[in-house]
A and B are shown apart, each in its own frame.
Chain A
Amino acid sequence: MMLHVRHGGALTTVQDRGRSGWRHLGVAHAGALDAAQAALANHMVGNPADAAVLELTLRGPVLEFEQPTRIALCGAWIDAHFEDAHAQRHVVPCGRPVTLPAGTLRLGTIRSGLRVWLAVAGGIDAPPVLGSRSTDLRGGFGGLDGRALRAGDVLPLGARNAIEVDAPTSPKWWIALDPVASMQDAIRYVPSASTEALMLAERAWNVDAHSNRQGLRCSGDAIVATAGEQISAPVAPGTIQLPPDGQPIVLLADAQTVGGYPRLGHVIAADLPRLAQRRAGDTLRFVAVDAIAARAAARRRQGEIARLHWAIDLALNDPLER
């Protein structure tokens, strides 16, 4: 089955869990900015965790399905409607599986965050490039020709079980990882040995409008660097760089593989997905932690995610909910 794109949305890309093993050739990791949300959405529609999903930014796309299918929207909350063959409009809820007849899915404004992951039963069947279906926007490959979706695009979907349904149906339960309250929490980072590393936590920052999948740019009271450009060295998603203008950049999934700016440290793995939801203008605070705290936080988040997968399993197998 094919998925027809009627409108691409602000920035909609095909993503899976990203690329490994090619970093030494300058190939970015890419992949969903919150792999856990993508995996939860995949689980709800019966896909494996690494199936390709669509990552929506700020405003979603308009998609047309030829046949009935099952979808799930995870991440931030989004205004979503479904229009059936009789031009009837139905609200599509988030955080749960939704079975849809053939028709048009209109994904609108994203609320309480910035990004949403849309899983479709069967997964987006883009050809894997260097071991992944993820879009590498800077490299111009992967996903759909290495670019964001636009009107007129047609995406193949993987094989899935046939569904028959006349109207959108969804269960009453839903899941939520990272509830809205945690958006205010400080982002934890492990400081580097550089003299400016702790200054990051001393002031409040705003998310700059030039942020993208490569990096989240902070704006605020500049940190004056004592050292200039360094010898270029490997960097990673989570690396906090200090360019000469003193406005830190937190590298995200599309990060380049090497960089020459002084490094202030790295955002811990448990908090990196939270940065995917921060919008331009949002206030951002950082708090320094050590590696032990970072690992404890990672385990706690993994536990929360595991409990959600378990709950989804139970709910999907509940005869009253089917």
Chain B
Amino acid sequence: MTPARFEALADDAWLIHLGTTADAATNTRVHALAARIRASAPSWLFDIVPAYTSLGVFFDSDSIDADTALDWLRMQCRADIETTTAKPSRIIEIPVCYGGAHGEDLDAAAAELGIAPAELIARHREALYPVAMIGFAPGFPYLIGLDPMLALPRLATPRARVPAGSVAIGGAQTGIYPRESPGGWWLLGRTPLRLFDAQRDPPSMLAPGDRVRFVAIDADRFARLESEA
């Protein structure tokens, strides 16, 4: 187990590195440390941002100096992070309508992998994916745990518009696009859920440290859920 390493991220932020490989064990430690810091966060602490192997901590540089903030963070890392009794992570079910107009690349992705579309769907649904971090765009989850059999290179030509709610795979990763945006991943399906809504509390359906399971739904159910969302 690597000891915590500290690095300045900005004049008002420290970066704490807990490892060098993006595995589930390191990411679990990141979330445990984030939970510990959040539980005892002083008022000068603005943001605690967990990522794959590191944690960003933003502080109010008007009310505390960087070295005092660093000393406090070192104290938090001194005690064994594993002993933190973080609350058990939530399992969030994400309904997905696979294939057809909802997932334009399903058949092509299956052909590329040399398996039947049904097997691709089954393998994609099987895993329980930890949300390693949220970023790139508001509410965009970085999921770990994609079946290595499903790894695909990114599309040669990225799409200019990927519809909101698209569930896709790219490289060794799977993810969900919260908002219409450009994208280079293979579109397997779509969820009718709104992953991010700034007017909602909390705004993001998923939080770092949650686990995600994809549940297959048909087009009728998709339409019904979409009208309720």
Please give me the residue from chain A that is nearest to B205 by CB atom.
A25
Known contacts A130-B198, A266-B11; A234/B51 CB under 8 A: yes
The stretch of A135-143, A148-156, A203-211 in contact with B is A135-143
- Rounded to whole angstroms, the CA-CA distance of A298 and B10 in the bound complex is 12
- Does A238 have its Cβ within 8 Å of any Cβ on chain B? yes
Contact across chains for A233 and B52 when beta carbons are under 8 A apart = yes
Cβ of A319 within 8 Å of any chain B Cβ, yes or no, is no
What is the minimal beta-carbon distance from B138 to any residue of chain A, in angstroms? 5
Q: Of B17, B51, B198, which one neighbours A258 at CB under 8 angstroms?
A: B51
Nearest chain B CB to A81's CB is how many angstroms away? 37
Give Cα A97–Cα B19 distance, bound, in whole angstroms. Answer: 53
Q: Would you give the shortest CB distance from B111 to chain A, in whole angstroms?
A: 28
CB pair B61 A298 closer than 8 Å: yes
A237 contacts B10, C-beta separation under 8 Å: yes
Which residues 15-66 of B have a CB within 8 angstroms of A?
A: 15, 17, 20-22, 34, 46-56, 58, 61, 65-66
Query: Does A138 lie within 8 Å of B137, measured CB to CB?
Result: yes
In the bound complex, CA of A298 to CA of B11 (Å): 9
A29 → B minimal CB distance (Å): 9
Contact A24 B207 (CB under 8 A): yes
Contact B199 A129 (CB under 8 A): yes
B39 CB, min distance to chain A CBs, angstroms? 14
Q: Is the CB of A22 within 8 A of B135?
A: no
Are A266 and B47 also in contact (CB < 8 A) when A20-B58, A231-B22 are?
Answer: no
Contact with B along A117-141 (1 / 0, CB 8 A): 0000000000001100000101111
Chain A: minimal CB distance from B98 (Å): 25
B48–A24 touching, CB < 8 Å: yes
* A interface residues, tally (CB under 8 Å): 40
Residues of A within 8 A of B56 (CB): 23, 233-236, 257
Alpha-carbon gap, A234 to B34, bound state (A): 13
Q: Is A171 an interface residue when CB atoms closer than 8 A count as contact? A: no
**Residues of A close to B133: CB separation below 8 A:** 232, 258
Q: Which of the residues B17, B66, B139 comes within 8 Å of A295, measured between beta carbons? A: B66
Q: Does B53 contact A233, Cβ atoms closer than 8 Å?
A: yes
Question: Which residues of chain A are near B112, meaning CB under 8 Å?
Answer: none
Separation of A212 and B85 alpha carbons in the complex (Å):
43
Q: How far is the CA of A192 from the CA of B10 in the complex (A)?
A: 10
Q: Nearest chain-B residue to A22 (Cβ)?
A: B203
The answer to whether B136 touches A258 (Cβ under 8 A) is yes
The yes or no answer to A190 lying at the interface (CB within 8 A) is: yes
CB distance from A301 to the nearest CB of B (A): 11
Q: Distance in Å from the Cβ of B177 to the closest Cβ of chain A?
A: 12
Residues of chain B at interface, number, CB under 8 A: 46
Q: Tell me whether A141 and B9 are in contact (CB under 8 A).
A: no
Are B10's CB and A269's CB within 8 A?
A: yes
Q: Which of A1-46 contact B (CB under 8 A)?
A: 20-28
Kindly state the separation between the CA atoms of A193 and B5 in the bound complex, as whole angstroms.
12
Chain A: CB-nearest residue to B180: A140
Check if B88 is an interface residue, CB within 8 A of chain A: no
Q: Which residues of A contact B129 (CB under 8 A)?
A: none
Give the nearest-CB partner of A142 in chain B: B198
Q: Determine whether the beta carbon of B53 is less than 8 Å from that of A231.
A: yes
Q: CB < 8 Å: which of B9, B21, B66, B135 contacts A256?
A: B135
Flag if A232 contacts B11 (CB, 8 Å).
no
Q: Is A266 within 8 A of B8, CB to CB?
A: yes
Residue from A21, A231, A234, A269 in contact with B11 in the complex, judged by beta carbons closer than 8 Å: A269
A26-B136 in contact given A233-B15, A233-B54, A258-B51 (Cβ < 8 Å): yes
Of A24, A259, A298, chain B has the most CB atoms within 10 Å of the CB of A24
> In the complex, what residues of B have CB within 8 A of residue A192's CB?
7
Q: Mark A253-281, 1 if CB is under 8 A from B, else 0.
A: 00011110000001011000000000000
Find out whether the CB atom of A238 lies under 8 angstroms from the CB atom of B11: yes
A25 and B8 in contact, given A20-B58, A258-B51 (Cβ under 8 angstroms): no
Q: Which residue of B lies closest to A234 (CB)?
A: B56
* CA gap between A235 and B22 in the complex, in Å: 17
Q: In the complex, A233 Cα to B203 Cα: how many Å?
A: 22
CA separation between A231 and B15, bound complex, in Å?
Answer: 13
A239 touches B9 (CB 8 A): yes
Determine if B9 and A234 form an interchain contact, defined as CB atoms under 8 angstroms apart. Answer: yes
A–B Cβ pairs within 8 angstroms, 12 of them: A21-B46, A27-B198, A136-B138, A138-B137, A139-B137, A192-B7, A231-B21, A231-B53, A233-B52, A233-B54, A234-B135, A258-B133
Among all A-B residue pairs, the 7 with the closest Cβ atoms:
A234-B56, A258-B135, A141-B198, A269-B11, A23-B47, A236-B10, A25-B204
